Structure 1
Amino acid sequence: MSRFAAPALGRRAFLRALGVAGGAAAAPGLWDPAPALAAASRVKGVETSAIGVTLKLELSQAPFPCDGAPYRDETVMVFVPAHYRAPESGELDLVMHFHGHVTTAERAIAAHKLREQLHESKQNAVLVVPQGAVNAAESPPGKLGQQGGLRRLCGELAAVLSSPAARRALGDAAVPRQARLGMLCLSAHSGGYRVAAACLRHGGCEVNEVYLFDALYGEVDAYRDWVLERKDRSGRERHKLISHFVAGDVRRLNLELARALEAQGVSCLHERRPGELTRKQLLSGRAIFIHAPIAHSAVTFEQNAFRDCLFASGFRRQLRSSWFEKQDEPRRIDVRSRS
């Protein structure tokens, strides 16, 4: 995998093309039109590999800088898998991951094998990892805690990714022109739960699924209320939660959340031993709680948890996969190397 480099057409020309690009047309009530936002955006680098293209962006609607916080990094990491193809619907499906404490978006996307797991899931979606508080033992949401913050970030992102220069960098994997919001899934590891909860409360756009990786340290009401909003819906219309947990307070709060949902008529699935739930249950479940007897730092990737959440998601698949074979049997757990 090559390191980040300026695009072949020249860094200045690339940034200039992004700066003058028009904003993506917003689906009413979902994304804001963003020509002015795109003008304040820029690409810091492009990394290419056999599995896809990673763009390192600076976006004006990134979580930071934000009034009242000392953090200034505007980075948003974006990974588009090589197999991605823009759907005829013009919808852009996103999975947005919020990293934990004492790290950066760039380190988290590599350490937790997020790109590799999206690639292996074969889902036709784009991964977005905003920079939170840099190397800090806290996880304030920044601008994503403001009303409509998630909608504005997605709108700016769509405008930049649909620009001519970004489309050239992505080649056959270019995102739709004038992209509209498709499915939106949020993912959080550890302290990233605060940012995800803020997006559920104030984001201003529909979130379809949430994946937590030893992350439920609080904000239980936000996740409970979000699931209950669509408790009588089915298929892609529901709100689906998958929460992995290790031990301690996170385990306790997960069990409390499950009890609260069940008291409101939501059927919850529990996995107490690795692989106990079938793949069919992961596909059809509405609120799934998985005990992961592994290290907190590895819960996202060591047993390919992020990948399997994506396999079982409502994203619109276009590639066949053997993952769905024998889906009524206890699923095999694949262990991934840390290297």
Structure 2
Amino acid sequence: MTTANHLSRRALLAGASGLFLSTMGVRAAAQTAPAPPPRSRSRVVQIAKDARGLTVTLELEHAPFPAPGSYWRDATVFVFIPSHHRVSRDTSVQTVVHFHGHNSTAERAMNAHQLREQLFESKQNAILVVPELAVLAPDSSCGKLEAPGGLSRMLDDVLATLDSPEVRAAAGPSAIAQGATVGRVCVSAHSGGYHAAAAVLKNGGVPVQEVYLFDALYSDVDAFKQWVIAGRGKPMGSRHKLVSYYTDGTTAWNTRALFADLEKAGVDCAHEVVEGTLSREQLTRAEAVSIKTQLSHGAVTSELNSLRDCLYASALRRTLRSSWFDAKKGARPLERRR
């Protein structure tokens, strides 16, 4: 005969078994379910707007710093979106990335060299990205940009973080497209920023179309040489163009040696030993341009609108007409910044 106590014990055992199996199922599901993606630590810190455009201060997970084993910790990246910027047909975003030199900061370089003003005046349909490197130090390290794909991750991070309601509202018609991708990239470097420029050419994970060195060719010469040669003879939109401004000393010796090798390799080179003698057409057409500047080391990027003229002569796709090309022939006029 089955007793009530026996039934209760059987029910209890059955219930415990069911609970055990149910718990095991939950545990198994938890072990096999994919983990949710980690939340990005990138954020918008500040937005400032003036007649020229929008300056956005970001802190990015994929900024050069902090990086493993590095003393530097500042994750700041400045982005300038000119007021004339418009979404391209393929929603890609053209980018000018500038690397500051020794004993400086991203913000100081952006202001002292008038990087935003020069991009704005070039009328190019591109944004400016200025990451913080070593702060106020004689140090050319570039943290996470040394790693394979470092530039690609940083630029993807820039675009994703700019795709926020507050930036979109502030930018208005100049806002980047939702889900935008990286378009043509130009890299600019002053002084000790040369190493970051060389690093992203070697393993940045994104094609770089043009490089502008402003008294910056102190080392890593072979990286620039191999990059220029790899784009030799290609159409303007896919070639690799180098412009090297130099003063006296190391940057002069390295530039002359580099250009001798480039000419031996069949690269179309243009040389200017008296600043302003090359025509605008020559500055545009050549695959590599060396310019002996009359300016001091600290003034070379901006005083004669060097960055602006490099951008005018670049292969970036523009949406606004410029009169800069109306006088293609003859020595180009040099214009001092006011």
Scaled by the length of structure 1, what TM-score is found?
A: 0.87
**1:330 matched residue in structure 2:** 331
Contact preservation (8 Å) 2:40, 2:61:
no
**1:209 matched residue in structure 2:** 210
**2:319 matched residue in structure 1:** 318
Contact preservation (8 Å) 2:47, 2:167:
no
Deviation at 1:166, TM superposition (A): 2.0
For residues 86-113 of structure 1, what are the alpha-carbon distances to aligned partners after superposition, in whole Å with 9 as ceiling and x for unaligned?
1121111000000001111011100000
**Structure 1 portions without partners, runs of 5+:** 1-34
Task: Map residues 1-339 of structure 1 onto 2, 5 A cutoff.
Answer: 39-337=40-338
**Which amino acid in 2 is paired with 1:53?**
L
For residues 168-187 of structure 1, what are the alpha-carbon distances to aligned partners after superposition, in whole Å with 9 as ceiling and x for unaligned?
12111101221112100100
**Which amino acid in 2 is paired with 1:218?**
S
Q: Secondary structure at the match of 1:127?
A: strand
CA distance in 1, matches of 2:289, 2:55: 31
For residues 243-270 of structure 1, what are the alpha-carbon distances to aligned partners after superposition, in whole Å with 9 as ceiling and x for unaligned?
1111111100000000011111112100
For residues 127-181 of structure 1, what are the alpha-carbon distances to aligned partners after superposition, in whole Å with 9 as ceiling and x for unaligned?
0000001111111010000111111101111111223332112111101221112
Residues 220/89 of structure 1: CA separation in 2 closer, same or farther (3 Å cut): same
CA distance in 1, matches of 2:287, 2:294: 22
Contact preservation (8 Å) 1:38, 1:160:
no
**Which amino acid in 1 is paired with 2:100?**
H
CA distance in 2, matches of 1:182, 1:261: 27
CA distance in 2, matches of 1:227, 1:274: 23
Query: Larger Cα Rg: Structure 1 or Structure 2?
Result: 2
Q: Secondary structure at the match of 1:237?
A: coil
CA distance in 2, matches of 1:255, 1:197: 18
Q: Secondary structure at the match of 2:48?
A: strand
**Which amino acid in 2 is paired with 1:39?**
S
CA distance in 2, matches of 1:314, 1:271: 21
Contact preservation (8 Å) 2:152, 2:204:
yes
CA distance in 2, matches of 1:109, 1:93: 18
Q: Secondary structure at the match of 2:237?
A: helix
Residues 213/54 of structure 1: CA separation in 2 closer, same or farther (3 Å cut): same
How many residue pairs match? The answer is 303
CA distance in 1, matches of 2:127, 2:220: 27
Deviation at 1:55, TM superposition (A): 0.3
Q: Secondary structure at the match of 1:187?
A: strand
Contact preservation (8 Å) 2:53, 2:80:
yes
Q: Secondary structure at the match of 2:216?
A: coil
Structure 1 runs (4+) deviating above 4 angstroms are 35-38
Deviation at 1:59, TM superposition (A): 0.2
Residues 150/293 of structure 1: CA separation in 2 closer, same or farther (3 Å cut): same
**Structure 2 portions without partners, runs of 5+:** 1-35
